[in-house]
Structure 1
Amino acid sequence: MVSKEALLPRLRQTPLFSAWPEKVMLPLLAQSRPLVLAAGEILFAEGGQAQSFYFLATGRVDLIAAAATGQEKIVEIIQPDDLFAEAVAFLGGRYPVTAQAEGVATVLEIPLDLFVESLEQHPLLMRQMLARLSMRLHFLVKELRHLSVESAEQRLVGYLLDLCPVLNDPARIELPGKKAAVAARLGLTPETLSRVLARLRKAELLTVDRRLISIPNPLALRRWVEGR
C-alpha cells in the first residue's frame, strides 16, 4: 500500500492543494487514510451519505450516474493523481454518482469535515476551491454539448485529441479504461466505438494495439473529423 507520506508531494501537485501551506495540509493528511479497492469494488454509491472525498494513487476509478431510464453511464474515468468527489462538500452531503474501481486501485480517503473546516478558516483556499468547481462546471457543460450534438466520430476524435500531449508531433496514448468503459464515457455502444476505430485505421490516421493508440499526425486526424 502507498504510504500517506509518499502521497503528500503528489497531492501538492493538484490544482486544489497546490497553494495549501504545510501547517494546514499536514493535519488533513494525518486524518486521511489509504484504501485498497478490489476490481469492481464500489467505493461509494450514488445518493449515499458523504463523509470523505478521494485522491487516486494507483489504478482507475469509474464515476457512474444512473439515468432516468435505469441505465448507467460512465461520466468520468478517474486517473492516478486525480482528486474526485470533493464537490460533494457543497452538495448537501450526498454523492451524486457511484464510484467503482475498474481494476485494483489505491485511493486516499480525505475527511470532508476537516477539509471544510480548513476552507472556512482560510478564505484564500475557499476561493481556490470555488475556482476548481467552476472549472468542473465548465467541463460538464462541454461534455453535455458533446453528447447532444456531436457525431460518434467527433466524440471519439475529440476525446483522443484531448489525450494527446501535443498536436504537432506523433502521439502514442493509452486509453484510460477498457474500450467498453471508454464507449460508455462517450455515450456510444462498444460496437459503434469499434466501427469508428476501424474507419480511422482504414484512413491510416491511427493504429490500435489493445488500449494503446498511435496517432502519427494528430492535426491530420483533426482535419479529417472537421471535414466530416
Structure 2
Amino acid sequence: MKKKCSASYHTYTCEKSGEQCICAVPLFQSLTSEQKEQIHSLIHHKYYSRGETIYRPGETAESLYVLQSGKIRIYRLSESGKEQLIRIVMPGEFTGELALFKKGFYEAFAEAQTDCSICAIKHNDFRELLMQYPATSIEMLAVIANRLGTSEQQTAWATTETVKERLLHFLASLVDSDESEPVVELKMAKKDLASYLGTTSESLSREIAHLEKENKIEEIAYGKFKLLTDY
C-alpha cells in the first residue's frame, strides 16, 4: 500500500527512500508536488550504525541532515569531558541547520543512538531552495526559533534551579494541553534526560523517587509519568 502526501497539483507518492524523507518532514509540506520532486533530486542517502558519529565539532559543515528513521543524539562536551545533551532528533526532524546560514564548522556532536537512515542535502543546494520557496524558509526559521527558546530554557534551568525543579518543569513542558490527564512519556532514556538536565543518572533517580514519595508524580510505566500536581 502506498503512502501518499497531499500536494497542490497532483498526488506525490512516497515509494522511494528520498520521497519518504520529503513526506515525513513538515518543513516541506507547503510545497507542490513539482517542488518536492526537485528536492528529491538533491538528496544523498546515508546510513549510520548505532553509536556511529555523524558529525563532530571542528568538521566542515556541508549538509542538512533529515532523519528518516532511527534517533540521533546531539550533544556537547565540556573541557573536563562532561557531556551535555542538547536534544534528541526524531524521524521527520533535521539537524545541521545552523551552519546553513554561514560557512563554518559543526559545533556539536551528532551520534546515531540507533541505526539511522538519513537524507542529506548539501547546504549550497538547500540555500537555493530557501530563496525560491519563502514558505519553507519561514517554516525553518520557526523550528530554529523554537530550538533557541528550548536551549535558553535549558540554560536557565541549569543555572537557577535545583535538579528536582528542573525535572518537574521539564515534565510539565511535555504535557499536552488537549489531553484530559497530565501524562507524559519520555522520548529519551533516563541517562540522556540526566545529561539534558545537567545532572547525573544517580541524582535523577533519587529525585524521581523523592517526587513519587511526595505524591507529585507517578511513574505508571518505565519512562511514562503522570503529574499529580500543577506546575
TM-score for both structures, normalised by structure 2 = 0.81
Residues in 1 aligned to 2:178 and 2:89: alpha-carbon distance in whole angstroms: 23
Partner of 2:229: 221
1:172–1:108 distance in 2 versus 1, CA, 3 Å: farther
Which residue, 68, 81, 84 being the options, matches 1:73? Answer: 84
Partner of 1:121: 132
Partner of 2:120: 109
Matches within 5 A, 1:1-228: 3-11=17-25, 14=26, 16-166=27-177, 169-204=180-215, 205-207=217-219, 209-210=221-222, 212-215=223-226, 218=227, 220-223=228-231
Residues in 1 aligned to 2:52 and 2:174: alpha-carbon distance in whole angstroms: 26
Residues in 1 aligned to 2:49 and 2:211: alpha-carbon distance in whole angstroms: 35
TM-score for both structures, normalised by structure 1 = 0.82
Aligned residues: 215
1:168–1:3 distance in 2 versus 1, CA, 3 Å: closer
1:169–1:125 distance in 2 versus 1, CA, 3 Å: closer
CA contact (8 A) 2:21 2:92 kept: no
What amino acid does structure 1 have at the position aligned with 2:23? P
1:78–1:131 distance in 2 versus 1, CA, 3 Å: closer
Deviation string for 1:28-69 (max 9, x for gaps)? 222213333211111111121112111222221110112233
Residues in 2 aligned to 1:147 and 1:63: alpha-carbon distance in whole angstroms: 18
1:173–1:129 distance in 2 versus 1, CA, 3 Å: closer
Identical positions, percent:
24
Deviation string for 1:170-226 (max 9, x for gaps)? 35443222211110011111011101111122234212533x3130xx3x3335xxx
What amino acid does structure 2 have at the position aligned with 1:78? V
Residues in 2 aligned to 1:105 and 1:24: alpha-carbon distance in whole angstroms: 26
How many Å apart are 1:9 and its aligned residue? 2.0
Residues in 1 aligned to 2:220 and 2:55: alpha-carbon distance in whole angstroms: 33
| More divergent stretch after superposition (186-195 vs 62-71) | 62-71
Structure having the higher helix fraction is: 1
Residues in 2 aligned to 1:131 and 1:55: alpha-carbon distance in whole angstroms: 16
1:207–1:28 distance in 2 versus 1, CA, 3 Å: same
Deviation string for 1:105-141 (max 9, x for gaps)? 2222222211011123344544444444333322222
Residues in 1 aligned to 2:139 and 2:71: alpha-carbon distance in whole angstroms: 26
Partner-residue secondary structure (3-state), 1:96:
coil
CA contact (8 A) 2:24 2:92 kept: yes
